Amino acid sequence: MIRRLLPIAILTGAGQLFSIFAIKSIAANSAADAFTDFVQADAFYQLLLSVIAFGLQSMAMRELVISADWKSLLKQYQSARICMAILLLPICLLAFWKSSYIVFLIAPLLAANADYAVYARGYPVYGALMAFLRMIIPYGITLVIVHIAPDKVLYAFVASLMPVFFITDWLIMRRLSVTFINIPYWRDILLYVKSLVLGLVGLGQYMVGLGLMLLVPYFIPEAASHAVFVGLKLYVIYKGVVRIIHQAYLREMLMPKVNINVDQLSMLVALFYCSGLFFFPDASVRLFFGERFLPYIYYYQLTGVAALIYAFLNTQSTILMLQRRDRPLAISTLTGVGTMFLTLISGALFGDGAWIAGLALVMGESAVSVCLYVVAKPVPLMKQRIVFVFQVSLFFVIPCLMRYAAGDILWSLLLSYVIVGIVCALLYGRKFVATPMQ
């Protein structure tokens, strides 16, 4: 398992960590208004990806895995995506009113991206490499520009996305031996209708994450909303890592041993994430977000709790998708969205701190997990999950002791988690190195 995941983990981890540290620097060096525009543009960028993917991408991955004539299907899916992008393109005119809407200008380039086909056809490492390039180049260019023109970070970010997506789109099609230029046919947009239920799932998964930023500014002050954004960005990065693990084992996910191993690996990552924010709150916030966000520690700790909840049963959503049980999956996801927004609105009646967004995230993920448990009924495997979390949690006594012995400082944070990582590798290395079919 680890043999396949190692190059993916290196590429994904490096790209995602670079992006979070880039955002940390952009937040520290850009003007407040410019960073607000950047935050909204980034949220719109992720929204665009979700709307273009909608249910079509999940349906495409499912069909491309099993179809012999997958190249013809891919052309239809790409045609439908480009048609959707053309429909979304006029929204960029709203940039004359609010500059962050300019990101809709690149909708066709986002639609031409076929990385889902790379994963479906069994090239996860190549897909991770393309994702790595799409991560480090735009954020890297924006990081440079913020020191030259702090008020132009929005335009630097959007302008850098254009060539990156064009090049990676071409490389992906070349790897798949498929024609890069696809003429869109409007009849293909009906594929979105066929995937409507899965589309609601995808949109819901976006909302229980960075989509929360679409409502946060209406309930939380600007300074706190910036803290919410950088926290959600790290949270979405974590979910993205878990999603890539799922995509790497998409073909084997229906095998009980594979889905339990994937969940256990996800829970291990979540425990590192969550415990770091609880045992070393000051050091973790300074490392990932910057000193200006120290007043929002409770919010960041709540995102860590949400990450652990998300990891516990997340493979069940992939299994339901592969089993074509789209309707119960959609109900589960939308229940989480509704719970999250209801918590945000209710919490705003009692305060306006960033913690409200963290609580909303926890409640949303909890609702999704409860629904997945009820629908999927993974009872035989629940004991393995619970025992694994209990066993691994014992090792996190090490960072707890380090915290009280050396204090809440960076070197004790890093050293304690290196030790925990080595212990986990020694004890569970064979389990995850073994191939899924064994």
Rounded to whole angstroms, the Cα distance separating 50 from 268 reads: 27
Structure tokens at 101: 């809407």
- Which ranges of the chain have pLDDT less than 50? 435-438
**Cβ within 8 Å of residue 24, ≥6 positions away:** 230, 288, 289, 290
Enumerate the H helices of 313-396 as residue ranges: 315-322, 326-347, 355-376, 379-395
pLDDT, one tens digit per residue, over 47-88 is 888 888 877 777 787 777 767 778 888 888 889 999 999 999
Question: Which residue, among 231, 208, 236, has the nearest Cα to 342 in the 3D structure?
Answer: 208
**Cβ within 8 Å of residue 6, ≥6 positions away:** none
What CA dihedral angle connects 216, 218, 224 and 230, to 10 degrees?
Answer: 30
Angle between the N-to-C axes of helices 410-433 and 2-29, in degrees from 0 to 180, rounded to the nearest 10: 150
Report whether 41 contacts 105 (CB < 8 A). Answer: no
**pLDDT for residue 278:** 92
Rounded to whole angstroms, the Cα distance separating 362 from 344 reads: 11
**pLDDT for residue 438:** 41
Rounded to whole angstroms, the Cα distance separating 261 from 269 reads: 12
Rounded to whole angstroms, the Cα distance separating 49 from 42 reads: 11
Structure tokens at 408: 């809440």
Rounded to whole angstroms, the Cα distance separating 220 from 24 reads: 20
Taken as a whole, the chain contains a residue count of 438
Q: Reduced to 3 states, what is the DSSP secondary structure of residue 433?
A: helix
Report whether 241 contacts 412 (CB < 8 A). Answer: no
Q: Reduced to 3 states, what is the DSSP secondary structure of residue 351?
A: coil
Q: Cα separations (Å) of 195 from 124, 327, 376?
A: 24, 11, 21
Angle between the N-to-C axes of helices 315-322 and 56-66, in degrees from 0 to 180, rounded to the nearest 10: 70
For residue 294, how many other CB atoms are within 10 A of its CB? 14
**pLDDT for residue 23:** 86
Identity of residue 256: P
**Cβ within 8 Å of residue 163, ≥6 positions away:** none
Structure tokens at 82: 């480009």
Q: What sign for the dihedral angle of Cα 43, 47, 48, 53? A: positive
For residue 121, how many other CB atoms are within 10 A of its CB? 18
**pLDDT for residue 85:** 92
**pLDDT for residue 437:** 41
**pLDDT for residue 425:** 81
**pLDDT for residue 250:** 64
**pLDDT for residue 381:** 66
Question: Which residue, among 332, 361, 22, has the nearest Cα to 215 in the 3D structure?
Answer: 361
CB < 8 Å & 24+ apart, contacts of 358-363: 358/231, 358/298, 358/299, 358/300, 358/301, 358/302, 358/303, 358/306, 359/302, 360/212, 361/208, 361/212, 361/232, 361/235, 361/302, 361/303, 361/306, 362/302, 362/305, 362/306, 362/309, 363/339
**pLDDT for residue 435:** 45
**Cβ within 8 Å of residue 153, ≥6 positions away:** 26, 30, 34, 35, 37, 38, 142, 145, 146
- Under DSSP, the state recorded for 353 is S
**Cβ within 8 Å of residue 13, ≥6 positions away:** 241
**pLDDT for residue 219:** 87
